[in-house]
A and B are shown apart, each in its own frame.
Chain A
Amino acid sequence: MLYLSQILRRPVRDVEGRPVASIKDVIVRLGEDHPPVTGLVARHMRRDIFLPRTRVAKFGEAGAQLNFDLLDLRDFKRREGEILLARDVLDKQLIDVDGKRVVRVNDVQLIEVAGEWRVTGADVSLQGLWRRLAPAGFMGSRRPVEVIDWADVGYLATDAAEVRLKSSRDKLSRLHPVEIARLAESLSYRQGAEVVAALDDETAAETLEEMPDESQARIIGDMDKERAADILEWMSPDEAADVLGDLPEATAEDLLNRMEGEEKTDVAELLHYEDDTAGGLMTNEFITLPKGLTVGEALARLREMAETPNMIYYLYVVEQEGSWKLVGVIALRSLILADPSAPLEHVMRDEFQHAHPDDSAKDVAHKIAEYNLLALPVVDDLGEIAGIVTVDDAMELLLPKGWRQRLPRIF
């Protein structure tokens, strides 16, 4: 086992054992869980030359030993998919998926496996830092070394490689969107955007929803337009409408145009409303059931739905199939406990709290808090339900600013 700091600046010796150059950097090829070393960069008489792995017989704390006579003075040039450990990895940040944190690489651990040297981990402990600073041969304290398995690296915050190689969609997906959002926020702006871009559309949407508004707008605004539109489709309509509202007008229109289907109509509908009102707060994803159904039929319908919105805990009973006229609200709890043959009309509450789209957002939030609701229906002048305001959006308004960003989306 070897640490990068132990071999940097060590001599490169020829077959006779004479030092001919010094190790400047180690080249590894990304893409695997434990990237293999493909060569060394050595400094020979003020030039950086490339030594492929095949030419290196031995490699260790004492330096490297070549296995051939002639020193191939090929200049070093970067290749696709490869990075340099000292230049591109040391002192850079990475996302540790196992520990769910962003850490800085203090040193890199290398292990020889089946004749091949591989990067096995990143040392993020203080001990690693002392090892870098201390002169050669210093034993250091017996403090424990903390090494993150390279297989747990979800993203490496370096400029050097393509996003595809330095981030892993699978690994990042092991984290909850709330966690990914938190980690992306603690990286620099560009790197945070790269992390989000590395995710699949649905996870990216969920992650964005957990990030502050400015970050959402910035990341979506800087992204490829088609991809941005796809992600917006996955986001819940009220969040997507908020993002579009934060973008410059031309960009927002372009993105909305690229969206398709129901999602687009949902978002466009919400854009009508002013920001600080019930309309600006609400989402239009909710479940309606015609009052003529029985409890059993209603439950069956729920099970058959291809996609269920997040807010399933209240169901909104409308006059009839295809109508939006709200006549009652029924809690899922009541629905499950009721007799399956009972008509919804008898189980629902026909007296319920509601808001008008023009009501102030603060009033809506207070009402939700006062009545301990999970959601409040927003009903227009015709008595039709236009949307619902969920408790998580309401809470954001009521809590002090410092807490707001820590609230995850519940519905």
Chain B
Amino acid sequence: MAVSRTDVREMSRRLWRRGTLRVRRAVARRTGFIAYLAVIGPGMIAANAGNDAGGIATYSTSGAEFGYTLLWTFLPILVSLGLVQEMCARMGVVTGKGLADLIRERFGVRWTMVVMSALLVANAGVTVSEFVGIAAATELFGVPRQVSVPLAALSVWWLVVKGSYRRVERVFLLMSLVFLGYIVSAFLARPDWGEVARQMARPTFRYDNHYLFTLIALIGTTISPYMQVFVQSSVVEKGVGREDYKLVRADVWVGTLFAMSIAFFILISTAATLGTGGFAGSIETAADAARALVPLAGEYAGLLFAVGLFGASMLAAGVLPLATAYSISEALGFEKGVSRSFREAPIFIGIFTFLIAVGALIAIIPGLPLIRVLVVTQFINGLLLPVMLVAILRLAGDRKLMGEYANGAVYNVLAWLTVFIVSALSLVLAAKTLFG
């Protein structure tokens, strides 16, 4: 029944006094799968960026050389990775600032410079390895690297510089889908699932150097400083608020689970075929692994591996320079953001462009001592990781910064334990890299 406006106003007054006027819900309840889909992104992408060319190589060699015996490390690594990523994402949501920003505010300029320079050098090295990964993957399909690398570099650059944050995020997420190919290739390799299950549950500790080195390298490639910077800075750029914190946490853990599952399947692919004694050659790179799979598991296993390598390297080639650009811009106080144009954020875009260009150029150079480059970056990352972890832990547990979202007591204990173990192993890796 139509009511006159005066009556409506009078009615509102009366209803209000009687307490029966309900406030309309202007915003749909932010829960459920749809809401999760809106928030998914930073955690998933950051975790998957860990499965880059170097990561795939590490998982492949672990499988090829040690069979299933390193599988038991996956669960602890998963938990550690999830914990660290969650802390960074939480800091991004609660403070609205990036990691380098917080480090500068809390720990001062000197530490910030140390972290930033290390990130710059290490990430530059890893970016080169991504482009080499792209080159190797496309060469398996017969495309020479002089063609594929510049094209790849240009596409990634174009995507990030000309795209908005949303669009870039969406593309990165789509690229993550290539990893599913590894699941298929793992099944094609016909592993002994019983053995797999047994090895996952039983920690085998072999005291030979090579085994230990590979174990530590596994940790180093999965938990990397650039992933921590990236997840926090993208959560900030995305503008996620505290009300969506639970969804962000889900994004981080789902991303971690997904990434570790993929690593799991990669290892199984090579373990089932190359690790059971049926392989005499050596695997140095992921491309070697792809090639080696073909005679043993069929054309498709090798193909999927190569496609996965290509996708993974492209994703990481985008994420790594971005993480570096974010951290440097934040630390020095420059404008930043994927959604910004060159005019608005020249330093940010400039750093990103520089890293892509240098990475691509160096990757094209024939006869490059890539292993040497990777070893150096592994060393730097190995030293940097403990610093970052301690910083993250202190920031995430700081009540003045995080309020009620600071680490709880139990979480803190778990986190400190994780940090201690991972840092110790990381330093051992760095020492080994240096002294051999």
Interface residues of A (CB under 8 A from B): 90-92, 103-104, 106, 124, 126, 129, 132-133, 159, 187-190, 213-214, 218, 241-242, 244-247, 249, 252-253, 256-257, 264-265, 268-269, 271-275, 280, 324, 380-382, 384-386, 402
Contact = CB atoms under 8 A, between A and B. Distances in A.
A253 B17 CA distance: 11
A252 B19 CA distance: 12
Contacts of B104: 91, 104
13 contacts: A106-B109, A133-B109, A133-B113, A159-B400, A189-B94, A190-B403, A214-B241, A244-B23, A249-B23, A272-B24, A275-B27, A382-B3, A385-B5
Contact of B21 (A268, A275, A280, A380): A268
Secondary structure at the A interface, as helix, strand, loop or mixed, is helix
Interface in B1-51: 2-6, 8-9, 12-13, 15-16, 19, 21-27
Interface in B86-124: 94-97, 104-105, 108-110, 113
A253 B5 contact: no
B26 A256 contact: no
A381 B333 CA distance: 57
Contact of A324 (B6, B97, B110): B6
Contact of A188 (B23, B96, B164, B333): B96
A273 B5 contact: no
Contacts of B22: 249
Given A91-B108, A92-B105, A386-B5, 6 more contacts: A129-B109, A132-B109, A253-B23, A256-B23, A271-B12, A275-B27
Contacts of A91: 104-105, 108-109
B284 interface: no
B322 to A, nearest CB: 19
B276 interface: no
B2 A126 contact: no
Interface residues of B, number: 38
Interface in B381-410: 400, 403
B140 interface: no
Highest count of chain A CB atoms <10 Å: which of B96, B108, B243:
B96
Nearest to A250: B23
B97 to A, nearest CB: 6
B26 A245 contact: yes
A272 B10 CA distance: 13
B332 A129 contact: yes
B412 interface: no
B26 A242 contact: yes
Nearest to A103: B333
Contacts of A274: 24
A133 B12 CA distance: 64
Contacts of A264: 16
A242 B23 CA distance: 10
Nearest to A322: B6
B24 A269 contact: no
Contacts of B73: none
B16 A268 contact: yes
Given A189-B94, A273-B24, A218 B5 contact: no
A91 B94 CA distance: 20
A78 to B, nearest CB: 14
A229 to B, nearest CB: 14
B9 A265 contact: yes
Contacts of A190: 403
B265 to A, nearest CB: 37
Given A104-B104, A189-B95, A380-B2, A272 B8 contact: yes
A188 B95 contact: yes
B261 interface: no
B26 A265 contact: no
Contacts, number: 103
A271 B23 contact: yes
B109 A402 contact: no
Nearest to A107: B109
Nearest to B26: A245
B433 interface: no
Contacts of A92: 105
A382 B1 CA distance: 10
Contacts of B110: 132-133
Contacts of A268: 12-13, 15-16, 21
Contacts of A381: 2
B242 interface: yes
Contact of A246 (B21, B27, B333, B339): B27
A286 B268 CA distance: 70
Nearest to A124: B333
Contacts of B3: 380, 382
A189 B97 CA distance: 9
A188 B241 CA distance: 11
Contacts of A126: 332
Highest count of chain B CB atoms <10 Å: which of A126, A213, A265:
A265
Contacts of B113: 133
A334 B164 CA distance: 44
B398 to A, nearest CB: 10
B26 A275 contact: yes
User: Shortest 8 CB-CB distances between A and B: which pairs?
Assistant: A245-B26, A381-B2, A268-B12, A324-B5, A252-B23, A104-B333, A384-B5, A188-B96
B27 A265 contact: no
Nearest to A159: B400
Highest count of chain A CB atoms <10 Å: which of B6, B242, B332, B333:
B333
A385 B164 CA distance: 41
B156 to A, nearest CB: 22
Contacts of A103: 333
A269 B96 contact: no
A196 to B, nearest CB: 15
A189 B242 contact: yes
A126 B15 CA distance: 60
A256 B412 CA distance: 41
Contacts of B403: 190
Nearest to B10: A265
A131 to B, nearest CB: 10
A245 B94 contact: no
A189 B96 contact: yes
A257 B105 CA distance: 41
Contacts of B15: 268
A399 to B, nearest CB: 14
Contacts of A132: 109-110
B345 to A, nearest CB: 13
Contacts of A382: 2-5
A126 B332 CA distance: 8
Contacts of A187: 96
A269 B9 CA distance: 6
B16 A256 contact: yes
Contacts of A244: 23, 26
